[in-house]
Amino acid sequence: KYEKLWLIFGVGSLILFLVILAIGAFYKEIHPPSHMDTIDPKNVQEHESFKEENLGLRQVGENEYIVNVLSSGFYYDLGKDENDKAVNTIRIPVGAKVLFQTTSTDVVHGFQIAGTNVNMMVEPGHISTLETVMQKPGTYTLLCNEYCGSGHHYMAATVEVF
């Protein structure tokens, strides 16, 4: 007699659990921790943030900057300097608020500025964004921490906070 009761209780709590899970997953739309917008990885430059002239460091306020980066094997595209050379170092004033925006044109890459709280996964089809304040002066390395192929180890750039 009691077995049947327990069985009902067991099945009942299982259903309840699944319902809660379903509500959590679909109704609240649980997202991965970093906010992401979608983008066509084949046409990244159609997106305003990743047009060639908008790549790299841009000042958008008194002490506010945006850094748009195209991540691809095995290179962070930070735009070109006035001599048309590829930029490999960005210089950010200490205390500045910086919004990093990046996307991948091919495979999954990492986007980590070693020694800071900047650490993102870069996926094709998504825009990874992270806002931070550069707190400590120094020379930091932006590097890829997701294995992405034979040139993975060369995928790096320099961030100077001064």
* Residues near ligand CUA (CB under 6 A): 74, 109-110, 144, 146-148, 152, 155
The minimum distance between CB 3 and ligand CUA, in angstroms, equals 56
The minimum distance between CB 108 and ligand CUA, in angstroms, equals 8
The residue (of 110 and 124) whose beta carbon lies closer to ligand CUA is 110
CA distance 119 to 113: 6
What string of DSSP letters covers 62-106? Answer: TTEEEEEEEEETTEEE--B-TTSPBP-EEEE-TT-EEEEEEEESS
The minimum distance between CB 102 and ligand CUA, in angstroms, equals 11
Residue 123 contacts residue 110 (beta carbons within 8 Å): no
CA distance 22 to 91: 46
The minimum distance between CB 154 and ligand CUA, in angstroms, equals 9
The residue (of 97 and 152) whose beta carbon lies closer to ligand CUA is 152
CA distance 43 to 37: 15
The residue (of 96 and 102) whose beta carbon lies closer to ligand CUA is 102
The residue (of 109 and 126) whose beta carbon lies closer to ligand CUA is 109
Q: Give, in order, the Cα–Cα distances in Å from 84 to each of 52, 103, 154.
A: 12, 22, 22
